[in-house]
Structure 1
């Protein structure tokens, strides 16, 4: 493997993560709806990292086509990210089984009963997220193979605690016995080196890959990233306590204000008893899916949702995914060599 000679220190610290993923480098791509599709996923896997298809709101048929198309572009391992609240999650798991997907990432909440078992039954590995150590341990006991801890600096749906604090809490408690990846706000290799030294087996990045040359995101979406600073990536505000909305980090624009208005509208429907809570929350999720598509695919950077993490200030130009990965590895190696 090239990396053993080029990046020996980083490679040694990533060894467990890379072996688990079946990749050269233990660098996962965060699943970004509309962005993490066949082209970017294949480019990241071909570049030595681990691409992950963002299933998002896809139907089983759409996921079926996406996995097949990704396989046409790479023979390297890649994963599929499934949202735990998707109404067709068990059908989506069947699609993953049909294609022999090696790793399934379950995101967006506690996995529904039987889902982990259904994935393990066809030999795939299960990667989960957890906001607390207690839940992480429970998920490991339930069969999860690896954990991603993701701090609030990340783009898209986020939790309330920063990556640096989560790493200090989770890694000493879990890293010896379990595979833990760190995500949220990682933009350079020096940060990767630090988390690896703390016991992480690898990292996950989304924002750095969103503007890769192979990303199908609209040129105007990418330009918005290049212009932005860390402080422009803001977290959404929850308007009504009865409508618990997972905050979303995106670049501030008219769309972020429109989301606040959308929440007020749905809260009013709740007030008048004209909508059930589950339907209210689904309306919010559908809103996000549409707003994100408007920005990524249509290039409407005023009204769409430009989901981005705080590391957006480190994204200055388009680069091939393989070069982004090589740059991160070189920075990590240089940092470890200085120790």
Structure 2
């Protein structure tokens, strides 16, 4: 770290909180952020995070144990707040003495933050608004991630740069705030650190790391992709809510738009009721991420990617990705 004195100084709070050499977290990507990638990121000086997603407690138990076998560095676990077995998953994290738990996908249910803190875990949360961020931090959250619409996967409506200007001046003096969404180079990391961020979170850049188990076809789609190819899903009819997801456009995204139109017409004609219509929309993408990441079906699967995908041009080991980000950040700070 002595090679990056300016960046290291600005990251110090984040590094002390995470217990890692750099305050660079990996976003939790379902099917991608598993033991191989998570351990490689932590071993490379970053902070890996297991994506629990829809895992059962037994599967998470095995994944944490598998990660521990590959690294003795700290790593976190990302839990979805609406998971029906959330408290059982927290109990698994407690048994393994997981140092950091990220609660994502909505407001943490009552008692969840307390359950994590009870076994000594640190709690990281997401917040789309400043008011909610302040409430969560008052309620015991230890750190916050602000994620802009440039990110891959499920997204909010506001750009990272706007969120950073809104949140950091208000919160960074007294709280740990990590910035995510659209970060592909170290120059941008330097900017957010100067604004008061404790660190950053990247997903898209790590999805194609050498250690990522993502299918060769999935990685090649990223290498071909440009920023404008990573599009947010469109909601065709207000009666059929669609949570925006950013992914590379393919046959599947086009068919999803067509499916929405088809279901809306069935609804208009009284051929399906509202419940059935919404179910059809929800089921369309079931298993789509796995099809792309694991099976390599890049036409019909979901290629969740952030707009920084245009900066992902080759397969690199995690340690090299982290080193290059730190070098770029340091060079940017030196120039100033």
User: Per-residue CA shift, 1:225-248, capped at 9, x if unaligned?
Assistant: 001110000000112323432200
Q: Does 1:199 align with 2:196?
A: yes
Q: How many residues align?
A: 333
Q: Does 1:97 align with 2:91?
A: no
Give 1:304's aligned residue: 301
Which of 113, 116, 121 is 1:116 aligned to?
113
Residues in 1 aligned to 2:282 and 2:127: alpha-carbon distance in whole angstroms: 20
Residues in 2 aligned to 1:246 and 1:64: alpha-carbon distance in whole angstroms: 29
Return the TM-score normalized by structure 2. Answer: 0.95
User: Which deviates more from structure 2 when the two are superposed, residues 257-266 or residues 242-251?
Assistant: 257-266
Q: Does 1:251 align with 2:248?
A: yes
Alpha carbons of 1:31 and 1:227: their partners in 2 closer, same or farther (altered >3 Å)?
Answer: same
Q: Is the 8 A contact 2:146 2:178 kept in 1?
A: yes
SS at match of 2:231: strand
Residues in 1 aligned to 2:119 and 2:282: alpha-carbon distance in whole angstroms: 30
Return the TM-score normalized by structure 1. Answer: 0.94
Q: Is the 8 A contact 2:240 2:281 kept in 1?
A: no
Q: Is the 8 A contact 1:44 1:322 kept in 2?
A: yes
Alpha carbons of 1:6 and 1:252: their partners in 2 closer, same or farther (altered >3 Å)?
Answer: same
Q: Is the 8 A contact 2:236 2:261 kept in 1?
A: yes
Which of 158, 171, 176 is 1:174 aligned to?
171
Q: Is the 8 A contact 2:35 2:50 kept in 1?
A: yes
Residues in 2 aligned to 1:87 and 1:184: alpha-carbon distance in whole angstroms: 28
Give 2:81's aligned residue: 84
Alpha carbons of 1:265 and 1:163: their partners in 2 closer, same or farther (altered >3 Å)?
Answer: same
Alpha carbons of 1:231 and 1:106: their partners in 2 closer, same or farther (altered >3 Å)?
Answer: same
Alpha carbons of 1:262 and 1:132: their partners in 2 closer, same or farther (altered >3 Å)?
Answer: same
- Structure 1 segments unaligned to the other structure (5+ residues): none
C-alpha root-mean-square deviation of aligned residues, in Å?
Answer: 1.7
Which of 179, 182, 185 is 2:182 aligned to?
185
Q: Is the 8 A contact 2:43 2:71 kept in 1?
A: yes
Residues in 2 aligned to 1:323 and 1:82: alpha-carbon distance in whole angstroms: 28
SS at match of 2:125: strand
SS at match of 1:160: coil
